[in-house]
Chains A and B, each alone.
Chain A
Amino acid sequence: MKVLVTVKEVTAVDDEFEIDGLGIDDRYVTADLNEWDEYAVEEAVQLSESLDDVEVVTVTIGPSDAEETIRQALAKGADRAIRVWDDALDDDAMLDPATKARLLAAVAEQEDPDLILTGVQSADDSLGATGVTLADQLGTEWAAVVNALDLDAQAGVAHVHRELEGGVEELTDVELPAVLTIQTGINDPRYASLRGIRQAQSKELAEKTLADIGLDATALDSPIEQTALYEPESEGGATLYEGTPEETAGELAGLLAERGVGQ
């Protein structure tokens, strides 16, 4: 069977930073593999270790700068990687979930995987919608926010737990093929071994343009436009008590009594 894992290079922003247009000034960002995707890759690699004949393929949308990050997944055990990029794609432009899903779906149609794993969301723009959009574009089943997966490949069913709010998990059976969006904590992602890092250098990382996946620039048309980026106003309106611990605690005790605490 084949497992396709969508991965994304994300940027983390320093505590102190400057905004440059609609993005963060490059001097204040660090690129890394999206945390949720690390769990998705680990889940796929574990499947390939526990079942026979599982191929793990990663797919990303990103410029050539992202290759180093993408190789992290190869170093951890993915078999090969696909990177979609095109001159028509702008480095800084925000892609909405439908657009991302269109590109990923075109790759999925070529690869025809049995299972697609995505992260629940990306750490930078946190849209959280690409995986389910992808599933519906492909016409496959899906499950969002999965924190346990037990795959019955023979029966063609994924038994999953979905992490609902408030300490409740939903137990669901999902027919394959399917897209599962993977939550952090589902497993314990491994570190790449030195051997894995060496091997990753020789694994296939195929670059595909829009034309290569059967699309043209109209696939990027989106009615959504990012218009501003700014630092939110600080909400720091806290009244801070000052003085010795006895003094500050005394004032706080008075406040709590006023609010009816302990009565």
Chain B
Amino acid sequence: MTVLAVAEHRRGELRDVSHELVTAGRELADATDGDLHVAVVSGSVEEYADRLDRDGVDVIHTVAHGEEFNHDVYTQAVTQLAEEIDPTVLLMPQSVNGLDYAPAVANRVGLPLITDAVDLAYDDGLTATRELYGSKVETTIDSHADSTAVTIRPAEWPAAEGSGDATVEPFEATIDESAIRSTVTGFQEVGGGDVDISEADVLVSIGRGIEEEENLDLIRDLADTLDATLSASRPIVDNGWLPKNRQVGQSGKVVTPDVYIAIGISGAVQHVAGMKGADTIVAINDDPNAPIFDIADYGIVDDLFDVVPALIEGFES
């Protein structure tokens, strides 16, 4: 079979999910000794193609049209490519932009669409695993179609590594300009600033458990002691106690530090989506049932107001 995976980029950068799509696509292709094709649409497609040429990629299709994501361009280009290649599985990212074109492509090509897959298997047919009811249960979905469209959840597959020897083939998509009925006029950073928490090696992250704004000083002291960067979960930012650029999570930043210390954070799925890629996760929370302990490597079930001062002291000595 053939798998076609569509890369994602934004404002000149390939997004991490692109290399995860390569891994997921390679795994599926391997199940049937098949080929993995990757598509990249708009922007500096040749440069992107270079960086997408990881181990296991057979062909990279480039569609040079425009700079930034436009769903009308993506929908047309990916539809035409899928019709030409006829992939058994069409993989796209479960991202905000993925959700803006994948359903339209699936509709036009006539493929069933399974979104937000966290696992995929191929054995006489595609089986996808998804989560329901806020991750409380998992479900498996079988596709009985010859060809299926899937969006994969970011950070569920490891990034593909190594260098490949893919053939790069420019694809001449016929883009009907009159069908482009939406125009991206710009971007707006919500809560920019001087700090990029996604670059930090060590993050001290605070959640609702801090209770009061003035208690944040305790966490700042800890961050200083550990030479770490301060971050937070959504409620802290919603309250205006820290700026938006400190927010970890789906609508904030996705971080992958060496060490992530979650303090007073329960670990809702939207938060976890932003930090589960950390190498080592430490949780301090007085609720032993908090979901953060499901993904933590190390934990302390105790009052943060007792533990954090002791940690500052313990680390200094």
Question: Interface of A with B (CB < 8 Å)?
Answer: 11-13, 17, 19, 22, 24, 96-98, 101, 120, 123-133, 135-137, 141-145, 161-175, 181, 222-232, 234-241, 245-246, 248-250, 252-253, 255-257, 259-263
User: Which 5 residue pairs of A and B lie closest in terms of their CB atoms, listed nearest first?
Assistant: A249-B310, A253-B314, A132-B103, A223-B145, A245-B306
B202 at the interface (CB under 8 A from A): yes
Distance, CA A235 to CA B185, complexed state (A): 43
Distance, CA A101 to CA B220, complexed state (A): 49
Q: How far is the CB of B233 from chain A (nearest CB, A)?
A: 14
Distance, CA A162 to CA B70, complexed state (A): 12
Q: How far is the CB of A194 from chain B (nearest CB, A)?
A: 29
B247 at the interface (CB under 8 A from A): yes
Query: In residues 106-125 of chain B, which contact A (Cβ within 8 Å)?
Result: 106-108, 112-116
A-B contacts, 16 of them at CB < 8 A, read A97-B103, A126-B116, A133-B113, A136-B75, A136-B103, A136-B104, A145-B96, A163-B251, A167-B192, A169-B190, A170-B186, A225-B144, A232-B138, A237-B297, A249-B310, A250-B314
Interface residue range, chain B: 35 or more
Q: How far is the CB of B200 from chain A (nearest CB, A)?
A: 11
Distance, CA A168 to CA B258, complexed state (A): 24
Query: In residues 196-245 of chain B, which contact A (Cβ within 8 Å)?
Result: 198, 202, 225-228, 244-245
Distance, CA A220 to CA B95, complexed state (A): 28
Interface of A is mostly: mixed
- By the criterion CB–CB under 8 Å, are A164 and B97 in contact? yes
A-B pair count, CB < 8 Å, reads: 261
Distance, CA A235 to CA B299, complexed state (A): 14
A167-B244, A223-B143, A236-B294 known; A245 vs B106 contact (CB < 8 Å): no
* Mask of B281-317 contacts with A, CB within 8 angstroms, 1/0: 0110000000001111111111100111011011100
Interface of B is mostly: mixed
B44 at the interface (CB under 8 A from A): no
B162 at the interface (CB under 8 A from A): no
- By the criterion CB–CB under 8 Å, are B307 and A249 in contact? yes
Q: How far is the CB of B268 from chain A (nearest CB, A)?
A: 13
The one of B96, B103, B182 in contact with A129, judged by C-beta atoms closer than 8 angstroms, is: B103
- By the criterion CB–CB under 8 Å, are A249 and B300 in contact? yes
- By the criterion CB–CB under 8 Å, are A168 and B315 in contact? no
> Which B residues lie within 8 Å of A98 (CB)?
106-107, 112-113
Distance, CA A167 to CA B234, complexed state (A): 12
> Which A residues lie within 8 Å of B282 (CB)?
252, 255-256
